[in-house]
Every structure is written in structure tokens, then in C-alpha cells.
């Protein structure tokens, strides 16, 4: 609704808010957004992934994202892209699990490094011997984070998988 102001200028009736102009006839829809964590001085605790209206729904620190990439590299670097995406989804599904069967924490590093969680992790630091595979793991993790959706997941809400070649 436009009205003429005292100087003959058309003005729009509404309320100015910090996020811009708020139209009284068409209020914006709001979704709960997780508050941004405090910015840490420690680089490993700085934010590496911020949730948006699509994708994984919570913040990840740099160390969590690094753990996710490291897990993918060691656990599935020889798999197809779809197989690698499945591994990332399993870890993220564990982080989102309400049951917390994987320890009290939903921290990605705690999940990846939990006893017997993944075949590669035995408590020792593993070398990165294939930089190309590492770069691919980074790209797959970033792709899954921004497109995370159980509807599109290759594993749905699965929190475990089995490698039939290694299973006895």
C-alpha cells in the first residue's frame, strides 16, 4: 500500500528491521537456525562449515571436517564416488543420531575415533601417501555437506555398513 508523504513522495507502509524491509502484508517465514558458535583462536576449533537451508544442519569445526576427510581417505579412498559418499553419510548420520550409541558426543572426531568404529583407526597417526585421493576426499566431503539430505542419501539413515570382503 503506497501513500503520499508530506513532501509528495510515495512511501511504503511497513516496519524497517535490521534484516531489511519487513512488509506487513507478507511476513517472512522463519526457520530455527542454530546460533553461531563463538569464534575460537585455535584454528582447529574455527568454523569450517556453516549450515544453510540445505545441507548438513549443524556447524562443523575445522578439526571435525578434517576428521571426516581423514576417515574418508583411510576408509574408502579406493571406492567409487557413490561409495565414498555413503561413508560420509554414515558418519554424519551417527552425528545426528538421537541414541548416541557411539559415545556421549556428537563430535565427528569422537565418532570417527571411537573404538572399533572404522577399520583404519587404531589410535595411531596414519600418513597421507596419495595427495590426489586426499583432494578427492576433500571434494566428496564438501559436496555431501552442502547437499546432505536423508531423502537423497545413498544409505538413507544408516549408521553402519559392512565390507563383505573383510567380514568373516
pLDDT of 30 higher than 60: no
pLDDT of 23 higher than 70: no
The DSSP code sequence of 60-128 is EEHHHHHHHHHHHHHHHTTS-HHHHHHHHHHHHHHHH-SS-TT-S---HHHHHTSTTSSTT-SSS----
Q: Is the pTM of this model over 0.75?
A: no
pLDDT of residue 136: 97
| Interval 19-23 mean pLDDT | 34
| Interval 133-151 mean pLDDT | 90
pLDDT of residue 17: 32
Amino acid at each position: 500500500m503506497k501513500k503520499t508523504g508530506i513532501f509528495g513522495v510515495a512511501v511504503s507502509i511497513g516496519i524497517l528491521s535490521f534484516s531489511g524491509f519487513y512488509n506487513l502484508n507478507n511476513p517472512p517465514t522463519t526457520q530455527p537456525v542454530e546460533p553461531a558458535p563463538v569464534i575460537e583462536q585455535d584454528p582447529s576449533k574455527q568454523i569450517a562449515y556453516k549450515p544453510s537451508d540445505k545441507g548438513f544442519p549443524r556447524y562443523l569445526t575445522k578439526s571435525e571436517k578434517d576428521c571426516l576427510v581423514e576417515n574418508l581417505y583411510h576408509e574408502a579412498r579406493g571406492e567409487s564416488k557413490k561409495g565414498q559418499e555413503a561413508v560420509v553419510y554414515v558418519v554424519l548420520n551417527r552425528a545426528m543420531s538421537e541414541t548416541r550409541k557411539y559415545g556421549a558426543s556428537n563430535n565427528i572426531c569422537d565418532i570417527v575415533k571411537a573404538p572399533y568404529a572404522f577399520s583404519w583407526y587404531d589410535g595411531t597417526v596414519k600418513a597421507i601417501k596419495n595427495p590426489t585421493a586426499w583432494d578427492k576426499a576433500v571434494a566428496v566431503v564438501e559436496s555431501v555437506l552442502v547437499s546432505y539430505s536423508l531423502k537423497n542419501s545413498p544409505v538413507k539413515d544408516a549408521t553402519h555398513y559392512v565390507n563383505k570382503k573383510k567380514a568373516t
